[in-house]
Amino acid sequence: MIWKVNSFIIWILNAIVISLVVSIVIIIVNAIAEPVEIKKIINKYFKKST
């Protein structure tokens, strides 16, 4: 039981860390690249995915 709980907590922590890293990368990319170009890329990506 204890091992299962620990692995579940580790999985949650990994998910939180991954989401934080992704959000930080997105912020850095937004800061570096031109906002207009990013908006075009995001619009193309979301239009294809949806």
How high is the pLDDT of residue 32?
Answer: 76
DSSP state of 1: -
User: What is the reported pLDDT for 14?
Assistant: 95
| The pLDDT value given to residue 49 | 62
Rounded Cα gap, residues 27 and 48, in angstroms: 23
What is the C-alpha to C-alpha distance for residues 11 and 1, in angstroms, rounded to an integer? 15
Q: What is the pLDDT of residue 3?
A: 74
- For 22, how many CA atoms within 13 A lie in the half-sphere containing its CB? 6
pLDDT tens digits, one per residue of 1-50: 677 888 999 999 999 999 999 999 888 887 777 777 777 877 888 777 65
CB-based contact 40:49 (threshold 8 Å): no
The span from the CA of 45 to the CA of 47, in Å, is 6
